[in-house]
């Protein structure tokens, strides 16, 4: 399973925004100090005004990093979105939101998308009663997602659930049984991340 294994906070600094990859307590204050700095050893200098292409590239890189997707896989998502009827950018984001690791994160079972990916990869998630350990698994409307019983008492999971997270309207969660369900496909208005998907469409349309 391909994934980025380099320094996490380098990504935050490069994009200059909160990517929501790691636990919030780890990045508290750190992003604010580094976001305005130019990446690299001599970060005290000033960046040149970005070109249109640079803005498009950075937006693509930011979205890739938020969802933990590498270049080849991201392009495949875009190509699939482009073939579907509707607004390509909206469809792309809906597909990324429908990844199993993101759904686990949205349900509040993990403190970050990175931790959600680990829960999936280690076989702790059931999809319609069957174990699924593929983070990119597409979760369709009507699907039931369940956390295995032995993980429901895990300290990290309990901490995440206690902290709470705003549940998007396309998901439901029964705290008693630790089961979540996808009631509809994610819509653009459900995705509150600071993303300009049109820049990504413009980049790939060249």
Q: Is 188 helix (H, G, I), strand (E, B) or coil?
A: helix
DSSP letter at 99?
Answer: B
Name the nearest CA neighbour of 180 among 98, 112, 66: 98
Do domains 8-96+192-204 and 99-184 share one topology? The answer is no
DSSP per-residue letters across 55-77: HHHHHHHHHHHHHT--HHHHHHH
What burial letters (b/e) apply to 18-45, b meaning 16+ CB within 10 Å?
ebbbbbeeebeeebeebeeeeeeeeeee
End-to-end CA distance of the chain, in Å? 30
Q: Residue 36: its pLDDT value, please? A: 45
Q: How many other CB atoms are found less than 10 A from the CB of residue 10?
A: 12
Q: Residue 120: its pLDDT value, please? A: 97
Mean pLDDT, rounded, of the chain: 84
- Whether 182 contacts 103, CB under 8 Å: yes
pLDDT digits (tens, 9 = 90+) for 7-48: 555 555 555 555 665 555 444 444 444 544 555 555 545 556
Ordered strands of the 144-147 beta sheet: 130-131, 125-127, 144-147, 179-182, 171-174
Q: Confidence band (pLDDT; 50, 70, 90) for 206?
A: confident
Average pLDDT for residues 198-204, to the nearest whole number?
A: 96
Give 147's strand partners.
Answer: 125
- The full set of domain ranges for the chain reads 8-96+192-204, 99-184
Q: Residue 163: its pLDDT value, please? A: 82
**Between residues 116 and 48, which one has the greater pLDDT?**
116
**Between residues 6 and 104, which one has the greater pLDDT?**
104
pLDDT at 139 over 70: yes
Average pLDDT for residues 63-81, to the nearest whole number?
A: 94
pLDDT digits (tens, 9 = 90+) for 150-172: 999 999 898 888 887 789 999 99
Q: Residue 111: its pLDDT value, please? A: 87
Q: Residue 127: its pLDDT value, please? A: 98
Domain range 8-96+192-204, CATH class: mainly alpha
Q: Which CATH number fits domain 99-184: 3.40.50.10490, 3.90.1720.10, 3.40.50.1240, 3.10.290.10?
A: 3.10.290.10
pLDDT at 1 over 50: no
- Whether 200 contacts 78, CB under 8 Å: yes
Contacts for 89 with CB less than 8 Å, ≥ 6 apart: 81, 197, 198, 200, 201
């Amino acid at each position: 399973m391909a994934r980025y294994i380099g320094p996490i906070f380098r990504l935050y600094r490069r994009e200059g925004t909160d990517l929501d990859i790691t636990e919030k307590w780890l990045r508290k204050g750190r992003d604010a100090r580094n976001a305005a700095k130019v990446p690299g050893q001599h970060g005290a200098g000033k960046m040149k005004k970005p070109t249109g292409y640079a803005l498009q590239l950075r937006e693509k890189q930011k979205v890739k990093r938020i969802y933990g997707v590498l270049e080849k896989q991201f392009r495949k998502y875009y190509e699939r979105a482009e073939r579907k009827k509707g607004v390509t950018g909206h469809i792309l984001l809906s597909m990324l939101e429908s990844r199993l690791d993101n759904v686990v994160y949205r349900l509040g079972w993990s403190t970050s998308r990175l931790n959600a990916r680990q829960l999936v990869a280690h076989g702790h998630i059931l999809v319609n009663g069957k174990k699924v350990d593929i983070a990119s698994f597409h979760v369709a409307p009507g699907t039931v997602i369940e956390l295995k019983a032995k993980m429901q008492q895990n300290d990290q999971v309990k901490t995440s659930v206690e902290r709470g997270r705003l549940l998007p309207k396309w998901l439901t969660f029964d705290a008693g049984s630790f089961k979540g369900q996808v009631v509809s496909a994610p819509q653009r208005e459900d995705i509150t991340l600071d993303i300009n998907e049109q820049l990504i469409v413009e980049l790939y349309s060249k």
